[in-house]
């Protein structure tokens, strides 16, 4: 007994040893073909539907010899029939049909009887081919060396021009002798028909005059022409073109292109190119749209249920949805969700699409350096196709989807191509109503689309694009956030995915804390989710019979040794301070070490830092040289060479945010006063000693908290962030707001 994935075909019969080309455009068929290739060694069962909404108990096992995705999104396969199989039972899983099959033992051997049938069928086939000039004489070569009645009857059935019911009768007949009888009857009938037709033709011709013969010849020419036109009518586009909601001038261009088909041979490559082009244009949803539902309350409930925290993000999304609901009079804003990987940017965009009951499209532009990927290739290129925008709109089938353009901060611009400019046209509400794809060549209205962009790093978003966007920042998750998300969201989702009771597998607080601190290093929860799933799968494989609590000591058994350690030194050293970063990829805490050399080599700066750090160091040294008496530093030492080393592999992209930490490290070194390793500093300083406002302050405070800091100094101008911080952060982290270096000096060095 063998199980195969099953494809049920209406109006199509395939015989063993026959090869067919099939085209599909539905997702179910594509999934069946994909599973056949991946899981069933390119084999699948072709079944025949019956009148009782079921299938007949005989199917044909086939092999996929070729799989091709066409430019219009359809896919084509070549399959070859192998043998008949009996279907014992079927089951349906998520619309996919699987059949348990077995192969029936062959008919009782009768060599002499089989030889007689073989000879008779071959003889009648030769007679039929010789009489019927339009039939392919290659069949004679194919049958000459054939041994075996099974194969001969199946090949004969594929050769003869049979209707669906005749083919069905033959494929469902397992007895080769009964099948041979049916083939002989069909051949005999066809031979008699051809002979009668020829006899009538001869009688008619002999009674016709020359004029009548000319008339018949003309009539035959007309019939042949009509036959050719009928074949081309399969691709008759006129009615569909006339129904398009486009300008008449554009319709005229398409009609001209459709009319050109009549003068082009069907075997010409140009014929296929025109067909593909017109089919793609006609398949675009020029007039189809989703009926949007403005249930804002329901949308926000979904966001709350599936996304932990993010209160300010949810508030902005709520405002955004209300604007969309009013879009008849208000232009919808183009929002850009900015935040680290794994914080839920894509899923929030999906929930917006669900809330307004429209389709969702995701287009990634990370690393994209060819604008043709977005706007298509011109038709003069070999293999030209439409760009991602119209291809995805064509696939989803409506003209008003939510389009997520992912990772715009990683888009590439070079001297060859500028995809950024394409995005500018795409997002411009004053221009995108006439978006022109190079391949399509006609303006398509994108004004009803809702565009949502995502990025990891706001600073890397091209300025021209950034100027058009409503930026929504996704904050880093704190350790407490991650514990809550793991307990209340991720583990619940895993229990549904693997079908076990949510309470059956638990993680205690210390296990989750260690998992987050020592097995992950991320701002989101994507890697945490993967690790939790890995543990759950291992527990389930052990055939869990009672509830199981995962404790800290169990983690090494499931995940191996710890991978990450907070690189905070316990030893206090003068000249050493910590500066919180705002990296979107790791929980960055920058360790700055300052050393003085008795030489005159100028500044030495090492570590993966930006050019702005040099200016911050120079400003700090100049400030101390001017005010050395006030801060009791040795003026001569300020003229020595200073080496500043920034560790933890973090690049300070924005430059001016570490000036305060740099100044503290210099004073600490010169007066030999050590700074506690649980204190960190952020803020820039000018030549007057004022501490200036910096960006990404909330993320830096969260980084400091996640890294175990007890105190952080921030500029007074950033004090408004305190109201946005959770209470558990402000109660465990002493956030000191300062406006000048005097306050810091008094606090640390006096």
Residue 508 host element (H or E): none
> 204 pLDDT band (50/70/90 cuts)?
low
Flag the least confident range among 85-94, 226-235, 401-410.
226-235
pLDDT tens figures, 156-169: 888 888 888 889 99
pLDDT in tens, 594-642: 999 877 777 888 887 777 788 889 999 999 999 988 988 888 888 888 9
CA 31 to chain centre: 16
Cβ atoms of residues 79 and 20 within 8 Å:
yes
pLDDT at 734: 94
pLDDT, position 653: 46
Mean pLDDT of 526-545: 85
Per the CB < 8 A criterion, the answer to whether 154 and 18 are in contact is: yes
Which pLDDT score, from 0 to 100, does residue 232 have? Answer: 47
Give the tens place of pLDDT for each residue, 659-703. 899 999 999 999 999 998 889 999 999 999 999 998 888 888 888
* pTM for the structure as a whole: 0.59
Is residue 482 within 8 A of residue 528, CB to CB? The reply is yes
Task: Count Cα neighbours of 740 within 13 Å in the Cβ-side half-sphere.
Answer: 7
- Per-residue pLDDT, averaged over 94-122, amounts to 83
Return the structure tokens found at 524.
């989101």
Structure confidence at residue 441 (pLDDT): 83
Crossing angle for the helix pair 111-131 and 176-207, nearest 10 degrees?
20
Per residue in 292-325, pLDDT (tens digit) is 656 677 777 777 776 666 676 677 777 777 776 6
Distance of CA 209 to CAs 106, 201, 213, 215, Å? 60, 14, 6, 10
Is the pLDDT assigned to residue 746 strictly greater than 80? yes
Domain ranges, ordered by start, for the chain: 2-102, 111-206, 213-283, 296-473, 497-559, 576-749
Q: Are strands 450-455 and 402-406 parallel, antiparallel or unpaired?
A: parallel
Pairing of strands 711-715, 679-681: parallel
Distance separating alpha carbons of residues 624 and 594, to the nearest angstrom? 15
pLDDT, residue 237, reads 73
Q: Is the pLDDT of residue 341 over 90?
A: no
How sure is the predictor about 735, in pLDDT bands with cuts at 50, 70 and 90? very high
For 296-473, give the CATH class: alpha beta
Residue 422: pLDDT band with limits 50, 70, 90: confident
Q: Give tens-digit pLDDT for 26-52.
A: 888 888 988 888 888 899 999 999 887
Residue 54 has pLDDT above 80, yes or no: yes
Q: Give the separation between CA 353 and CA 293, rounded to whole angstroms.
A: 10
Q: What is the 3-state secondary structure (H, E, C) of 65-106?
A: EEEEECCCCCEEEEEEEEEEEEEEEEEEECCEEEEEEECCCC
**How confident is the model over 189-214, as a mean pLDDT?**
72
Label the pairing between strands 402-406 and 548-550: unpaired
CB atoms within 10 A of CB 411: 23
Q: What is the pLDDT of residue 439?
A: 86
**Whole-number pLDDT of residue 745:** 93
DSSP one-letter code for 107: P
pLDDT surpassing 50 at residue 235: no
What is residue 222's predicted lDDT score, i.e. its pLDDT? 59
Give pLDDT, residue 293.
58
Indicate whether 202 pLDDT > 80: no
Distances (CA, A) of 471 to 338, 426, 699: 7, 18, 16
pLDDT, position 365: 83
CA distance 744 to 739: 9
- Tell me: pLDDT of 223 over 70: no
Q: Please determine, for residue 586, whether its predicted confidence score (pLDDT) is greater than 60.
A: no
Q: What is the pLDDT of residue 230?
A: 45
Q: What is the DSSP letter of 690?
A: B
User: Per 3-state DSSP, what percentage of the chain is helix, strand, and coil (rounded to 5)?
Assistant: 45, 20, 35
**Which one has a higher pLDDT value, 138 or 658?**
658
Q: Mean pLDDT, to the nearest integer, of 91-98?
A: 87
Do residues 564 and 584 lie in contact, with contact meaning Cβ atoms separated by under 8 Å? Answer: no
For residue 579 the two structure tokens come to 């500066």
According to CATH, the topology of domain 576-749 is Ribosomal Protein S5; domain 2 (3.30.230)
714 pLDDT band, cuts 50/70/90, is: very high
The span from the first CA to the last CA of the chain, in angstroms, equals: 87
Calpha distance 58→56 (Å, rounded): 6
Instruction: Identify the pLDDT of residue 228.
Output: 53
The answer to whether domain 111-206 has CATH 1.10.3720.10 is no
Do residues 548 and 483 lie in contact, with contact meaning Cβ atoms separated by under 8 Å?
A: no
Distance CA(269)–CA(447), nearest Å, equals 36
Pairing label, strands 43-47, 58-69: antiparallel
* Each residue's pLDDT tens digit, 436-476: 888 888 888 888 888 889 988 888 888 878 888 888 887 77
| Per-residue confidence (pLDDT) for residue 135, from 0 to 100 | 54
Domain 2-102 has CATH 3.40.50.720: no
CATH topology of domain 497-559: Helicase, Ruva Protein; domain 3 (1.10.8)
pLDDT in tens, 476-499: 788 888 888 888 888 888 888 888
Q: Does residue 18 have a pLDDT over 60? A: yes
pLDDT value at 233 more than 50: no
Provide the 3-class DSSP secondary structure of residue 3: strand
The mean per-residue pLDDT over the stretch 562-568 comes to: 72
Rounded distance between C-alpha atoms, residue 707 and residue 138, angstroms = 79
pLDDT at position 100: 92
Cα dist. 330→322, 327, 333, 356, 418 in Å?
Answer: 10, 5, 9, 16, 31
**What are the distances in angstroms from CA 673 to CA 67, 93, 598?**
72, 71, 19
């Amino acid at each position: 007994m063998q199980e195969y994935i099953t494809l049920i075909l209406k109006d199509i019969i395939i015989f063993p040893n026959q090869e067919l080309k099939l085209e599909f455009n539905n997702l179910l068929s594509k999934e069946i073909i994909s599973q056949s290739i991946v899981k069933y060694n390119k084999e699948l069962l072709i079944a025949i539907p019956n009148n009782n909404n079921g299938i007949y108990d005989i199917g044909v096992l086939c092999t996929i010899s070729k799989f091709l995705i066409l430019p219009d999104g359809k896919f084509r396969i070549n399959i070859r029939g192998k043998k008949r199989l009996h279907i014992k039972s079927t089951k349906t899983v998520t619309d996919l049909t699987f059949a348990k099959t077995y192969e029936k033992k062959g008919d009782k051997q009768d060599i002499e009887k089989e030889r007689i049938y073989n000879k008779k069928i071959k003889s009648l086939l030769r007679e039929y081919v010789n009489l019927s000039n339009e039939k392919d004489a290659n069949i004679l070569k194919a049958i000459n060396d054939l041994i075996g009645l099974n194969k001969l009857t199946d090949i004969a059935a594929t050769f003869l021009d049979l209707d669906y019911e005749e083919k069905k009768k033959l494929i469902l007949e397992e007895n080769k002798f009964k099948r041979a009888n049916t083939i002989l009857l069909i051949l005999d009938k066809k031979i008699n028909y051809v002979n009668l037709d020829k006899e009538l033709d001869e009688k008619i011709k002999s009674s016709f005059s020359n004029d009548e013969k000319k008339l018949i010849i003309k009539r035959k020419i007309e019939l042949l022409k009509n036959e050719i036109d009928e074949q081309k009518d399969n691709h008759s586009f006129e009615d569909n073109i006339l129904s398009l909601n486009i300008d008449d001038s554009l319709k005229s261009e398409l009609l001209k292109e459709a009319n050109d088909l009549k003068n082009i041979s069907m075997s010409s490559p140009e014929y296929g190119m025109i067909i593909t082009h017109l089919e793609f244009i006609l398949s675009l949803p020029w007039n189809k749209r989703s009926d949007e539902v403005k249930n804002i309350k329901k949308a926000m409930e979904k966001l709350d249920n599936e996304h932990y925290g993010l209160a300010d993000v949810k508030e902005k999304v709520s405002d955004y949805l209300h604007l969309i609901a009013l879009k008849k009079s208000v232009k919808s804003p183009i929002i850009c969700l900015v935040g680290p990987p794994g914080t839920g940017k894509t899923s929030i965009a999906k929930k917006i699409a669900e809330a307004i009951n429209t389709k969702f499209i995701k287009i990634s532009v990370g690393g994209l350096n060819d604008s043709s990927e977005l706007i298509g290739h011109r038709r003069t290129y070999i293999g030209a196709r439409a760009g991602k925008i119209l291809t995805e709109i064509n696939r989803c089938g409506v003209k008003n989807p939510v389009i997520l353009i992912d990772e715009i901060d990683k888009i590439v611009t070079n001297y060859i191509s500028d995809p950024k400019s394409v995005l500018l046209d795409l997002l411009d509400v004053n221009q995108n109503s006439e978006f022109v794809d190079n391949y399509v060549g006609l303006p398509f209205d994108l004004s009803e689309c809702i565009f949502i962009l995502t990025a990891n790093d706001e600073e890397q978003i091209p300025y021209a694009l950034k100027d058009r966007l409503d930026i929504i920042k996704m904050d880093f998750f704190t350790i407490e956030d991650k514990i809550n998300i793991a307990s209340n969201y991720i583990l619940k989702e895993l229990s549904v995915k693997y079908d076990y009771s949510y309470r059956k597998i638990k993680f205690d607080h210390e296990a989750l804390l260690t998992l987050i601190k020592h097995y992950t290093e991320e701002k989101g929860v994507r890697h945490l989710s993967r690790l939790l799933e890995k543990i759950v799968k291992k527990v389930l494989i052990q055939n869990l019979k009672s509830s199981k609590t995962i404790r800290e000591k169990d983690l090494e058994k499931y995940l191996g040794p710890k991978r990450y350690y907070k690189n905070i030194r316990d030893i206090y050293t003068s000249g050493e301070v910590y500066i919180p970063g705002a990296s979107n990829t790791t929980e960055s805490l920058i360790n700055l070490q300052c050393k003085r050399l008795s030489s005159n080599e100028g500044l030495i700066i090492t570590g993966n830092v930006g050019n702005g750090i040099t200016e911050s160091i120079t400003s700090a040294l100049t400030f101390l040289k001017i005010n050395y008496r006030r801060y009791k530093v040795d003026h001569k030492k300020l003229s020595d060479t200073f080496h500043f080393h920034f560790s933890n592999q973090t690049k300070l992209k924005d430059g001016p945010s570490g000036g305060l930490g740099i100044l503290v490290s210099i004073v600490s070194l010169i007066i030999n006063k050590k700074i506690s390793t649980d204190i960190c500093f952020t803020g820039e300083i000018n030549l007057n000693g004022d501490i200036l406002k910096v960006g990404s302050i909330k993320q830096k405070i969260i980084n400091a908290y996640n890294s175990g800091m007890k105190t952080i100094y921030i500029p007074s101008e950033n004090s408004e962030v305190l109201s946005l911080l959770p209470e558990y952060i402000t109660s465990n982290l002493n956030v000191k707001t300062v406006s000048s270096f005097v306050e810091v000096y008094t606090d640390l060095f006096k």
